[in-house]
Amino acid sequence: MAFKSKIKWVALFVLTLSLGSLTVHLSLTKFSSMNLVQYSAKEALSHDFPYIGSPVGRNKRLWGAVRSLESLQPYANPRNGYPVPGKTSNGFIYAKIFGGFEKIRSSICDLVTISRLLNATLVIPEIQESTRSKGISYKFKSFSYLYDEEQFIASLKNDVNIIKSLPEYFKSARRRSEFPTFKPKSSASPNYYVKEILPSLKKAKVVGLIIMDGGCLQPILPPILSEFQRLRCRVAFHALQFRPEIQILGLRMVERLRAWGQPFLAYHPGLVRDTLAYHGCAELFQDVHTELIQYRREQMIKQGIVNDELSVESHIRRENGSCPLMPEEVGLLLRAMGYPSNTIIYVAGSQTFGGQRLLIPLRAMFANVVDRTSLCSKTELSDLVGPETPPSPDVFKMPNPKSEEQLKEEWNRAGPRPRPLPPPPDRPVYQHEKEGWYAWITENDKEPNPSPMDLRMQAHRLLWDALDYIVSVEADAFFPCFHSDGSRWPDFSGLVIGQRLYERASSRTYRPDRKKIAELFNVIRDDMYHPKRNWILSAREHLNRSLSEEGLIRQSLLSKPTSFLSHPIPECSCRISSVEITKPIKGKDGRILFGGEPECPKWMQSARAEKARTNETEPAEDENDVAEKARTNETEPAEDENDVPEQLEPDVISSLTSLIDHDEEWDPND
């Protein structure tokens, strides 16, 4: 009995120790979990740049302006002999615009130009991606979902008469489809409108246009129609302002990026399914994404958009410059330029085909890669969208139970006995069990129609593209991956490049030649992360050339025939008089590729001279100046130990200087 009692006491003691150990572990878990914080890009930036609000001297080699282009200034004002539109017009033009952000923006500019050409009154265009049928907020109409209607009308009052809707006596006739409707191509000439549409406009007083190709007027017009090109610039760069909520949030994102006292670079991957399918770049991806691109390419061939074979060698297309630069290649090019690993990179674009996994190599090379979700809270983004009705839940519904009569009838029709047992009923496949939005390709041969939620997300992408557009235009440097792709559609990067060229021609806007870049990477394809010094110098030389006149000339040759807004010079610019006079460079067709801008008005030159004098009295500091001041201030005691010093610490200056002067091979493990 004594032995059994000892066993009981030992068991009770072990149980007590177990309970005590469990209590201690639970308490430690509770208190340690309080210190776990979800990753935030803002917190990561604060660790890399602890001196918030104290600007660091910029490396002019990486962030400085392109001096050879500083004389170019924006000047889209009308020249001599440009009358204001009269009260009477030839009729009304209403339009429906299909497509994404870049197609909408380009099409609106063409519509205003056509209205001026035909002396017509333009009705505010209808953006089909943001109609009420897509489930957008009741606060907005189709145009006002993205742009400011009042600003649009007021800014163009001296160019075109614009109204918000057709007069009442024309609305009922439009519902009965009594007015002629046209579907012009993006390459339609002015003669097409004068000969084909103008007679119908004068006769019916109302015509409708359906625009699906991202434009309805040829990009390059004869020199005699230069005023219409300048009108395009006034529409794109002055009249088309985003609605105030988008504008405020976009500028707030720029302020948050600049709050760390560091310049930032905007990067647009350009990985869109339609353009990838158009050029046959399916083999650059893996798994289901290749099948999705091939399916879209097959549809384009059936529609006559692509006149080529279905299966093509994607690697050959990439060597020809027809495929985009992958994020891994962009990271290596930026490292070759000398950008340090803590450079702030903003990823633009509402969608990246292939998912976030394609950005993993870029994020491994640069720690501070952010996007709109990193800079904006969910509340800010939802407020931008506005109040929307919740979508209907996709819940699996069990079939209705069969009645007793139906069961008896099925039993009688079952045939002779004995018979095999029926197969088990199919288990329902719920929404969370599907592979994703591409699950249809493993089940069907035909892509299903977009669901109501898909249509709503398409409308939301217009807002995300608008935010990215604001940040990309205001960025200290911009790096596109798929501009001037040779397709007939305008692209996001091309519009950003065009506006940056118009507003600040000297800003650092890279225009890489993808064919040349492919040749460079073919040399180091076996060891991409340890390139030789000669390769680094070659890549750096090519990117520096793309910033200057050489890049502008190539942009004019490749991009302007597709989209005028991607290269609005020399029509929408002027040149400050200087000692160096740029001779115009013409192409084979006689078109001016670079140079030939008129001299800026005197008021612009005087304003620039005043700004230059101000800059001379307050010169910009570079790294050496900041380092010298920091070394000078080392001997001076701080007034208060709690005050944040105005200059950087010496070790920070030395690290920055070493990054700037570092010209050797980069190690991916650094």
Q: pLDDT digit string (tens) for 195-215?
A: 999 999 999 999 999 999 889
- The pTM of this model reads 0.80
Peptide bond into 570 cis (omega under 30): yes
Q: Closest Cα partner for 322 from 277, 375, 257?
A: 277
Residue from 566, 546, 547, 548 nearest 556 by CA: 566
Q: Confidence class of residue 611 from pLDDT cuts 50, 70 and 90?
A: low
Q: Is the pLDDT of residue 569 over 50?
A: yes
Write out the two tokens for 442.
């493993």
Query: What span, in angstroms and rounded, lies between the C-alpha atoms of 448 and 437?
Result: 11
Residue with tokens 């004002």: 77
Pairing type for strands 121-123 and 162-163 reads parallel
What is the Cα–Cα distance from 653 to 631, expressed in whole angstroms? 10
pLDDT at residue 494 in the model: 93
43 forms beta bridges with none
For residue 442, report the phi and psi dihedrals to the nearest 5 degrees. -90, -5
651, two tokens: 């070790």
CATH number, span 92-241: 3.40.50
C-alpha–C-alpha distance, residues 16 and 412, integer Å: 68
Rounded Cα distance, 404 and 471, in Å: 66
pLDDT band at 428 (very low <50, low <70, confident <90, very high): low
Residue 416 in this model has a pLDDT that exceeds 80: no
Residues of the chain with CATH 3.40.50: 92-241
CB atoms within 10 A of CB 354: 21
Per residue in 80-119, pLDDT (tens digit) is: 888 888 888 999 999 999 999 999 999 999 999 999 999 9
| 232, two tokens | 């395009």
Which pLDDT belongs to residue 44?
57
Q: What is the pLDDT of residue 1?
A: 55
pLDDT at residue 427, rounded to an integer: 63
What are the strands, taking DSSP E only, across 282-391?
344-347, 369-370
CA-CA-CA-CA torsion sign (109, 114, 117, 118): negative
Measured distance CA(66)–CA(585) in Å, rounded: 19
Q: How many CB atoms lie within 10 A of CB 604?
A: 15
Residue appearing with tokens 């606060």: 139
What average pLDDT does the structure give for the chain?
81
DSSP state, residue 195: I
pLDDT at site 180: 93
Summarised one tens digit per residue, pLDDT across range 56-68 is: 567 888 999 998 8
Q: Which of 561, 552, 541, 536 has its CA nearest to residue 502?
A: 552
Query: Which has the closest alpha carbon to 349: 98, 40, 101?
Result: 101
